[in-house]
Chain A
């Protein structure tokens, strides 16, 4: 069969397929569900024939484009809806964190060691803290958590809890995202971001330990601390996982190792950033509210215990299966 005959014979089919794909591109529902698969199978055969018979670049490219477009529509992702979410938090997320437990422990250490070192510095060598916090920063800490002043400095600056929600989300989730993204650079970014967060936060807490109102600080931070800090650490851990793919590719090429690491890091990253995002409304609405301190402390402790239990126990059954 010559090319012209082949084209004449099949043109109607291709036109129909192109029209169907154009309709799907415009998100119009297809009335007869079997039309796309039928046309797709046909054009697959046509493309293979055209390639084999060397009908030329132009025809092959047209059919090639048609196959890709139709295939994309046939294989576009399934929307699993709420059951997908339940599967993610009931199994995928905690299992992925456990699978990378060594990296997660490392990242926990990278955050908590400088944090506690600076709190210890408050009692032994406070000059470490003063070296880190600028005088303006110290003044701000005094206003928020000083022994005499009872104003909510940040809240006054932004005026309302809703303003704070925007600030917390843009600040905290961006930090989490950035610590993941920079982890791709051989893990350097994640180590830097986590260490830096640990040092800064440790210095701020240490400063209040040395000369501030500890009760106010811990009452404010208790409730959202577990979500926020664990979330950022998990995002950093996801970044470290991808970075380790480059450092230690094993038997893969570095390029393939990066892709494989990305696949392992994705659930940790999604879960971690969701935790940070959840922390923001708690920090904006619950933590500064006038709920009794004992209640806030209880919620905070329960949060930490809850996450420990969650990552230890949840989603074990499908591991074995």
Chain B
């Protein structure tokens, strides 16, 4: 099925309840930051476990605690992401920090199977690995395959996401960092011609996003409309904003 190319990455999904929701997939960069946070936290957890088990080793014997340390290394490495993603509804601490969440492509929360698959395939995603040493599995790799796969898929899915049929999405929509306060109130103005639904949406979205753009960018964006409206420059921007406000509030 050919889908028309879109400007944004929003994924529209129709639920069984008959309503359409939109998922906002997250790109490699915020996910990389989330991963760093998780790596640090996993290292701290493992370090704490080692200390605790070494202390325990004084009581029950070192052999026992060596076995437990090995088991906890295994558990931290393969289990950290899986347990958090299932038990915390798709959010490891790093993902929570970055406002991300793992969901199925249907929007449903991930279960054990999906979390198991996507975090095992992480091993393939993180290749090439740093040079191997005794505890090669505690070293993380460069995620070359994962990033490549993210950039080749429309929904930023790494190989693990593809195999497990999952997505990483923005959990909460964030407000733009920089917004300019509008100095002059915009006078609503009816559009001079009949607009289709999509065109009406475009006008309303222009009003909503305008505060985060510079004046020259706004003028550039309304340039194609200037000829239709018969005004140039700032006047055209004001006119388009007015139409948007009229459409939104009426």
Contact = CB atoms under 8 A, between A and B. Distances in A.
Interface residues of A, number: 57
Interface string A75-116: 111000000000000000000000000000000000000000
A237 interface: no
Contacts of B108: 71-72, 75-76
B70 interface: yes
Nearest to A41: B17
A208 interface: no
A48 to B, nearest CB: 5
B68 A47 contact: no
Interface in B143-179: 145, 153, 157, 159, 162-165, 172-173
Nearest to B200: A54
A165 B71 CA distance: 8
B247 interface: yes
B71 A166 contact: yes
Interface in A1-38: 2-3, 25
Nearest to A256: B162
B145 A185 contact: yes
A150 interface: no
Q: Is the interface of B mostly helix, strand, loop or mixed?
A: helix
Contacts of A133: none
Interface string B94-121: 0000000001000111011100110011
A184 B19 contact: no
A158 B19 contact: no
Interface stretch (A137-145, A262-270, A305-313): A262-270
A182 B160 CA distance: 11
Given A44-B18, A67-B21, A169-B70, A163 B124 contact: no
Nearest to A46: B19
A219 interface: no
A227 interface: no
B70 A77 contact: no
A56 B210 CA distance: 13
A76 B89 contact: yes
Contact of B67 (A2, A25, A65, A160): A160
B109 A72 contact: yes
B165 A259 contact: yes
Contact of B204 (A54, A164, A182): A54
Interface string B187-226: 0000000000100110011001000000000000000000
16 contacts: A3-B249, A54-B197, A56-B204, A67-B19, A71-B17, A72-B107, A72-B109, A75-B109, A76-B89, A158-B66, A166-B70, A169-B74, A184-B159, A258-B163, A262-B117, A270-B113
Given A71-B107, A262-B164, 14 more contacts: A44-B18, A54-B201, A56-B248, A61-B173, A166-B74, A170-B71, A170-B74, A174-B137, A181-B121, A184-B159, A242-B163, A258-B162, A262-B162, A265-B163
Interface of B: 15, 17-23, 61-64, 66-71, 73-74, 78, 89, 103, 107-109, 111-113, 116-117, 120-124, 127, 137, 145, 153, 157, 159, 162-165, 172-173, 197, 200-201, 204-205, 208, 247-250
